[in-house]
Structure 1
Amino acid sequence: MTAKGDGQRRVLELLWKDARRPARGPRRGLTMERIVAAAIQVVETEGPAALSMRRVAEELGVGTASLYTYLPGKAELEALMVDAIGAGDPLPDDWPGDWRAKVEAWARTDHELYRKHPWVLHLVATVAAPGPNLLRWMDSALRVLRGTGLTEAEKMAVVESVDAYVRGQARLSLDTREPSAEEVRERDALLGELVDFEPYPALVETVRAGVSPYAGDKFEFGLRLLLDGVEALIAARRASTP
């Protein structure tokens, strides 16, 4: 097995086997749940860059070596943190309403989670090992689309497309700072002085209508368009079913 495959095996074994007891050394009152909770506290208050085995040990008031009796290293800890994030309810299929209402509810909930806890976006993007809570969530999301007439491949594509859209919009909103009214006025005055807008007639028409590029929250608009497309596909599938 390659070094990469060996590392993935260690991560998956921690996620799926009973790894709540240390392999060696004293317990020192630790549990895997406490270690993961301490790691989450570190990134909540200090950001993902602050996460290290040493920093988590400091948060717990123990030596760094104590953590290594529970898990091999930071990569495994991050995988456990990602899985812990998915432990909460409600699941996608728990929301009331039809498939569309359920998808909208889960998309809005996840979008708000990412905006309030940006470190989650960072870890979800770097951890690929699926744990029990991730598979529990995926199973629930696929159940939302039962009875729609979509193929299994289309159901998975819808789930992944919505998830990717939510993450992308959350990341964009975090990366883009909304300028103040004064900053907008100063910028527009400078642009009017320095730029010949004649080559950009469509943009000029949009701006004259009061629309500023990359300003405001476009999340709901994009979500509606995405789900309108899914709804059209479902309608087509049902229409073709004898």
Structure 2
Amino acid sequence: MSADPRQRRAARHAQPATEAAASAPRKKPITTDRITDAALEVVATEGYDALTIRRVATLLGTGPSSLYAHIVNKNDIDDLLIGRLYAEVVLPEPNPAAWREQLLDVYTQIRDLYLKYPGISRAALAMVSTNLETLRVGEGILAILLAGGVEPKTAGWARDALSLYVSGYALEQSLVQQRRRNPDQDWVLTHEELLDRFTALPADQFPHTRRHAAALISGTSHDRFNFALGQLMNNLRPA
């Protein structure tokens, strides 16, 4: 096997990874699967901000140089992480009569996977992944849109917009939870406190905000998630 991690990365993006069997190793070998497991553990227990190559190596009981034999850089770990999460996404058989409902279900699965690992959706931002699992989900989303009669270019752009919103939504939720756990962040307001602030605003300067305060802050975060995706999808029309 080539010692060049870039060639290894290209190889695993061309076909499913297989780990070579070892006969009773004295020490468990470092593999991309173990690197991904350790990276997920770091994010789950410490948050995405704590994820570094050195932190992953420490968790595996080795040094960073051992990881560089299998990965290219930190971005490569991001690619592995999103690929691992997307492997759990269940894709439906595209149904032209229910394509919007199917699309919402797939993106809800992705949202919930992101929310399990605080901040991990950052790994999906500003990255064009060629991980096979990520591509599988992208293909499934595209198939749903095309089954709904959406024109190919519009389908591609819509997929990007929907994916960006889901990543941003999950990132914001993780930041909110992080701030609420910090005792110094007392400026993070509850629903009731925000309502009080809005209704106490000067009526001559903020007439609309004050009058419609309850409506402005109504609904759960997931209600708003469904609303936003619905607005995007409802504007997609068959070609």
Place the TM-score, normalised by the shorter chain, in its bin.
Answer: 0.7 to 0.9
Q: Give the CA deviation at 1:103.
A: 0.7
Distance 2:11 2:49 in 1: 26
- Structure-2 residue corresponding to 1:34: 34
Aligned to 1:3: none
Match of 1:199 among 195, 202, 205: 205
- Whether contact under 8 Å (1:142, 1:156) holds in the other structure is yes
User: Would you say how many aligned residue pairs link Structure 1 and Structure 2?
Assistant: 217
1:140 to partner: Cα distance: 1.0
Asked whether the equivalents of residues 8 and 129 of structure 1 are also in contact (C-alpha less than 8 Å), the reply is: no
94-103 or 58-67, which moves further after superposition? Answer: 94-103
- The CA deviation at 1:131 is 1.3
Query: Residues 193-224 of structure 1, C-alpha deviation per residue, up to 9 Å, x if partnerless?
Result: xx5331332223212xx234487422222222
Q: Partner of 2:59 in structure 1?
A: 59
**Unaligned residue ranges in structure 2 (runs of 5+):** 21-25, 181-187
Do the aligned residues in 2 keep the contact of 1:11 with 1:79 (CA within 8 Å)?
Answer: no
The reply on whether 1:223 has 2:229 as its aligned counterpart is yes
For 2:232 and 2:126, the matched residues in 1 are separated by 26
Report the TM-score, using the length of structure 2 for normalisation: 0.73
State, as a whole percentage, how many aligned pairs show the same letter: 24
Q: Are 2:94 and 2:147, in contact at CA under 8 Å, matched by a contact in 1?
A: no
Residues 81-120 of structure 1: matches in 2 within 5 Å?
81-91=81-91, 93=93, 98-120=98-120
| Displacement of 1:136 | 1.0
Q: Equivalences for 1:1-242 in 2 at 5 Å? A: 12-13=10-11, 15-16=13-14, 28-91=28-91, 93=93, 98-176=98-176, 179-180=189-190, 183-184=193-194, 187=197, 192=200, 195-207=201-213, 210-213=214-217, 216-217=220-221, 218-230=224-236, 233-234=237-238, 237=239
* Greater gyration radius: 1
- Tell me the C-alpha RMSD between the 2 structures: 3.4
User: Residue 226 of structure 1 aligns to which amino acid in structure 2?
Assistant: L
Closer, same or farther in 2 for the Cα pair 1:89/1:148, shift >3 Å? closer
Between Structure 1 and Structure 2, the one with more helix by share is: 1
- 2:215 alignment partner AA: V
Give the alignment's TM-score, normalised by structure 1. 0.72
SS in 2 for 1:146: helix
Question: 1:56/1:141 Cα in 2 relative to 1: closer, same or farther (>3 Å)?
Answer: same
Shift of 1:107: 2.1
**Contact 2:8 2:70 survives alignment (8 Å):** no
1:160/1:68 CA distance change after superposition, 3 Å: closer
- For residue 149 of structure 1, report the CA deviation from its aligned partner: 2.8
